[in-house]
Structure 1
Amino acid sequence: MPTCIIAIIEVFLQCKTTSIMETSHSQDAIIGRIRHIMQLQHLSQSQLAKTIGIDASNVSKYLSGRLPVSEALLNRIVVNLNISKDWLRDGKGLPFDKVSRAMSVSSGEVAVSCINEGIPVYDIDVAAGCTEMTRAFTEENVIGRLNFPNLNPEWIVVRAKGDSMMPKINNGGYVAFLPQSDLQNILWGQIYVVVMENRRVVKYVRRHQEDPSKVVLRSENRNYDDMDVAINDICALYVVERIINIQDCV
């Protein structure tokens, strides 16, 4: 065989081997980052599978390297765990570049008032249903007022009950939002006050992977299952702007 042909074959084999090694190293690194996220968010393989909407047996295959990590899998993890794709795929930046719009306010920054100072805290638990929720934003339902830095005087505040959003939002903590609902332009991955006919919840709102007529309501606390809700069953969505984790402030 001519020397030039042998040289070409050797170069081809060397390039192919290098490509395979680079792919292998890339896959191993991505798997390592997936495991890191699972550890940070205290997710078992079955919990990860349920969160991103795939079969639990496939998660085991991905993590063991028996299945190659696909672009579709990366997208599912990015969307459902709210992490940076650049970090997950290439190791660039930080895992949680996509941060929640809602900012937390420390208890030391909050001043409590029972007079006309600060933004109102509404007792919306007296209301039930869509119409009553709107009517609850009146002076007669104000049970106190809060002051904290950089507040928007148009915000209103309600109490969040339960532990489904802990540790992000404490049981008995408060959330501030503008009383402007927009069901047409949902900010995916953000925390919302979600108003339905017979209940009100504070949840992350996620895009439904299979049915565009629905959304996924997700808790911070992984002990709570996701909720699939039809958009038509939602009366109002209020994006949370501030989280105030103090109790018994009013």
Structure 2
Amino acid sequence: MVSERIGLYIDKKGISYYAFENSINASRGAISKAVKENKSIGSSMLEQIMAVYTDLNPVWLLTGQGEMFVGNEEMLLNKNIETYQLKTDNAMEMQQIPLYDIEAVAGLVPLFQDSKSQEPIDHISIPHLPKCDGAVYVTGDSMYPLLKSGDIVLYKEIHDLKNEIFWGEMYLLSIDMSGEEYITVKYIQKSEQHGFVRLVSQNKHHQDKDVELGKIKALALVKASIRINAMH
């Protein structure tokens, strides 16, 4: 079954089902359930998988013939870690940073309000990082190519929005959009409008947007990002 081979591929890559589903814009559990229950996966989803994971041999995926990876070579996994430190940051020798599922905790607001009661899906240990409160998977392409869907961002919570914003830095934030929570990663710059901030994307296809400071319900400074690459 195709779903079984996708499960083998995910295991070989060493990534979680959550990260895999995020990277192909699939709903939570869509792939893991299909693999566990040996169910078929739609053609549009298969096309998305092959578009994102170009090292996956489509012949092997669809027929089981040949090798799992394109080029008939074993894969090496490499983690790219980018840090975004302030001059005032003190690097920590080692820390256990909890990795949270935003969907499971129902958004950043409840996560930041009571993180101790939330169950992380894993912990991340990277030496010599500044103090971080947690980590989450990124979705969307607003910070592409710096960040892409499926990357992990590690953050430090900001509680005093009026006085603790460092202009021009990258933030993970929750915005109230007509009663709905909108979670994104953006640069925050000063706005020409009083009481507003300007949200700026790395991706030039996204326009800058001024939002009321009061609409920001949760804010965290991005301290590092992790991207898992597969190399032949």
- Match for 1:189 among 168, 177, 181? 168
- Match for 2:186 among 166, 189, 203? 203
Q: Distance in 2 between matches of 1:129 and 1:146?
A: 20
Write out per-residue CA displacement over residues 146-196 of structure 1, whole angstroms, 9 at most, x where no aligned residue. 122213464311111111111111211111112332301211110001122
User: Please, which runs of 5 or more residues in structure 1 have no aligned partner?
Assistant: 1-105, 111-116
**Secondary structure at 2:228's aligned position in 1?**
coil
* Pair 1:180–1:228, CA change in 2 (3 A): closer
Identical positions, percent? 30
Q: Distance in 2 between matches of 1:239 and 1:109?
A: 16
- Match for 2:206 among 224, 233, 237? 224
* Pair 1:143–1:231, CA change in 2 (3 A): same
Alignment of 1:1-250 (within 5 A): 107=79, 118-128=96-106, 131-135=109-113, 137-138=115-116, 140-152=118-130, 154-185=132-163, 186-197=165-176, 198-209=181-192, 211-246=193-228
Is residue 122–residue 136 contact of structure 1 (8 Å, CA) maintained in 2? no
**Secondary structure at 2:217's aligned position in 1?**
strand
Q: Distance in 2 between matches of 1:135 and 1:120?
A: 15
Structure with the larger strand share:
2
Query: How many pairs does the alignment contain?
Result: 136
* Pair 1:133–1:227, CA change in 2 (3 A): farther
Is residue 100–residue 120 contact of structure 2 (8 Å, CA) maintained in 1? yes
Q: CA deviation at 1:145?
A: 1.4
Normalising by structure 1, we get a TM-score of 0.48
Structure with the larger helix share:
1
- Letter of the 2:96 partner, please give it: G
**Secondary structure at 1:124's aligned position in 2?**
coil
* Pair 1:160–1:240, CA change in 2 (3 A): same
* Pair 1:134–1:230, CA change in 2 (3 A): same
- Letter of the 1:173 partner, please give it: D
Q: Distance in 1 between matches of 2:211 and 2:108?
A: 16
Q: Distance in 1 between matches of 2:126 and 2:109?
A: 30
Q: CA deviation at 1:214?
A: 0.8
**Secondary structure at 2:110's aligned position in 1?**
helix
Write out per-residue CA displacement over residues 108-143 of structure 1, whole angstroms, 9 at most, x where no aligned residue. 669xxxxxx831101122344664233562364301
**Secondary structure at 2:157's aligned position in 1?**
coil
- Letter of the 2:188 partner, please give it: V
Write out per-residue CA displacement over residues 182-212 of structure 1, whole angstroms, 9 at most, x where no aligned residue. 3012111100011223111110011112x02
Where relative contact order (Cα < 8 A, 6+ residues apart) is larger, the structure is 2
* Pair 1:109–1:196, CA change in 2 (3 A): closer
Is residue 174–residue 246 contact of structure 1 (8 Å, CA) maintained in 2? no
**Secondary structure at 1:121's aligned position in 2?**
strand
Q: Distance in 1 between matches of 2:127 and 2:207?
A: 35
**Secondary structure at 2:189's aligned position in 1?**
strand
Is residue 168–residue 189 contact of structure 2 (8 Å, CA) maintained in 1? yes
Alignment root-mean-square deviation, CA: 2.7
- Point out the structure with max Rg over C-alpha: 1
**Secondary structure at 1:142's aligned position in 2?**
coil
**Secondary structure at 2:112's aligned position in 1?**
helix
Normalising by structure 2, we get a TM-score of 0.51
User: Please, which runs of 5 or more residues in structure 2 have no aligned partner?
Assistant: 1-77, 83-94
